[in-house]
Copies of this chain bind each other. A is one copy, B any other.
Amino acid sequence: MVLPVDRPVSVSTPVSSGASVTGGAPGATGTARVPGGSSAPVTSGSLPGSRKTYLIGSADGLRVPMREVVLSTGDSVILYDTSGPYTDAEQVTDVRRGLAPLRDAWIAARGDTEVYQGTAPEIRHGEGLRKPSPRRALPGRAVTQLAYARRGEVTPEMEFVALREGLPVETVRAEIAAGRAVLPANVNHPESEPMAIGRALLVKINANIGNSAVTSSIEEEVDKMVWATRWGADTVMDLSTGRDIHTTREWIIRNSPVPIGTVPIYQALEKAGGKAEELSWEIYRDTVIEQCEQGVDYMTVHAGVLLRYVPLTARRKTGIVSRGGSILAAWCLAHHQENFLYTHFAELCEILRAYDVTFSLGDGLRPGSIADANDAAQLAELATLGELTSVAWEHDVQVMIEGPGHVPMNKIKENVDLQRELCHDAPFYTLGPLTTDIAPGYDHITSAIGAAMIGWYGTAMLCYVTPKEHLGLPDRDDVKAGVIAYKIAAHAADLAKGHPGAQAWDDALSDARFDFRWTDQFHLALDPETAEAFHDETLPATPAKSAHFCSMCGPHFCSMKITQDVRRYAAEHGMGEIEAVDAGMREKSAEFAARGSHVYLPIAEA
């Protein structure tokens, strides 16, 4: 998204030169470490050629960080920015303490919450971590953005979103009030920069991180969170299933500039000793409260996995592939009782309302293969999620709906249309979908295809898939590969939807490309470092970066070069007036020849 230029802008930091900022500006890189013995610093510093810019709002302290790409022409392109203070060369971040709680004053000023003694366990290695007592709603109060929006109140969070999206604040409020958008913002995660998810807004992407019993450490996960937001993740889900779930999550939330999502059933199952049948509503409820107090912004709740739907999966090719869905299916079978998340859904709504935690109603019966797409089990659950959406809305709780999975291209639109109809326009949040099963190792691509399409059709947020999907846990490189693939999908969807301002980014890059402004092209790229590195593999010398050709064709065959000559020739001779062309053509032809017919300038002239 590129903002119109007449917006109030405050630029806080000098632009970094493309050559020196890889790895961050001095003083901001490699200094902040997670305690516990890790030697891996959290990544910080500007992206090459970019600096942090702030849009100033009307609310107290409302400054919206944006990424400003400063071009060699003197122009700037201002882009949506998810990366938080880590990319601000003037801010020193310290993951041992956590980010500044920028929303604290706004939340307190509303006067509808109280601070209380929470129930959370001790945090390992948390000596320096800012860990305030939790807040919750005063009795009987709904402290959700949905409740405010329905009352016609514009919160600072909404204004922040409107500024960053380049949309009228009333649009943001109205979309939230109607349930067509959510603004996940737990009162206990004041560090987060507000963002919203809805079909009228830019398409968002989520990155999953989290350790498992088999691999990975807290330090790695915090760095993955920062790394994912650096490349554009709008939210991050912590799907940890191993030891130290609580501590890992605490570190992530205190340092996260984006909303954090979880799947509470994973931690509840740990508490139940890993035995699904020993789960209970009470264990689950306490786990949810613990996570609400920590600051989780949205939670995946598989309340639509009903007992009667489980047999619908028995003849599937790949059964139930959602972890949460399968845990609840096992519980339902073991007890022959209805899913306790369904039967206790109203109580769950009361809890989430007290913290403004957003429901992400999970698709526990999503298809795990092309063969199972859009089947009876999936669609039965979807209808139930629609029913639950209405219940949540009655409680003023924000809701989005999770979607598949594995779906061939010809069945993607049906998914969106059904979701929209059955779930009353609540935002859709899909995993991929993967459009074929044959490419393990490349599922960021099989799914980016489906994600781009489903985003175009109206899906509000796309959960990324990394190259390691189905094979292993993503490392840092995989996280980046997944985020980039999904930023591509989301932006392609924004373009196809005709989101105002979306194409300005493409236009700026294409202009730079056509003008052979190589460095500007790199800086405008979704991944400036890779673009420059790929260029340099073939033509590493600095002069090549101002060369009026590239290594694909060499100086004598460059089509862009030829076109520039055609255009210059056309401009000099008035050929811009297409209607007049034919009349004057013969004369112009002679002039062109007289000038030496140089359609390719020698390198020395370039």
Contacts and interface: CB of A to CB of B under 8 A. Distances in A.
Contact of A588 (B333, B491, B496, B581): B333
A312 B569 CA distance: 14
A295 to B, nearest CB: 24
A589 B553 contact: no
Interface string A230-243: 00000000000110
A449 interface: yes
A522 to B, nearest CB: 8
A336 B559 contact: no
A215 to B, nearest CB: 6
A556 B213 contact: yes
A570 B312 CA distance: 11
Contacts of A557: 212-213, 241, 266, 269, 274, 323, 327
Given A575-B314, A589-B336, A559 B442 contact: no
Contacts of A569: 333
B566 A310 contact: yes
A506 B438 contact: yes
Contacts of A317: 507, 510-511, 514
A364 B522 CA distance: 26
From A317, A438, A496, residue with most partner B Cβ within 10 Å: A438
Number of copies of chain A assembled together: 2
A597 B310 CA distance: 17
Interface string A285-319: 00000000000000000000001101111110111
A592 interface: yes
A367 to B, nearest CB: 10
Contact of A495 (B409, B514, B590): B409
A137 interface: no
A214 B329 contact: no
A333 B592 contact: yes
Interface string A311-352: 111110111111101110110011110000000000000000
Nearest to A319: B563
A525 interface: yes
B370 A495 contact: yes
Interface in A489-543: 489, 491-493, 495-498, 503, 505-507, 509-511, 513-514, 521-522, 524-527, 530-531, 533-535, 537-539
Interface stretch (A104-112, A253-261, A418-426, A469-477): A469-477
From A308, A319, A410, A592, residue with most partner B Cβ within 10 Å: A319
Nearest to A530: B441
Nearest to A409: B496
A183 to B, nearest CB: 26
A593 interface: yes
A12 interface: no
Given A438-B491, A442-B485, A521-B440, A326 B214 contact: no
Majority-rule SS of A interface residues: helix
A548 to B, nearest CB: 14
A527 B597 contact: no
Interface in A564-595: 564-567, 569-571, 575-576, 578, 581-582, 585-586, 588-590, 592-593
A326 B562 contact: yes
A492 B436 contact: yes
Contacts of A54: none
Contacts of A100: none
Interface string A188-227: 0000000000000000000000001111000000000000
11 contacts: A212-B552, A241-B556, A242-B554, A276-B597, A277-B597, A319-B560, A320-B559, A409-B496, A410-B495, A472-B551, A473-B538
Given A213-B554, A276-B597, A410-B495, 6 more contacts: A241-B556, A313-B567, A317-B507, A436-B488, A438-B509, A441-B527
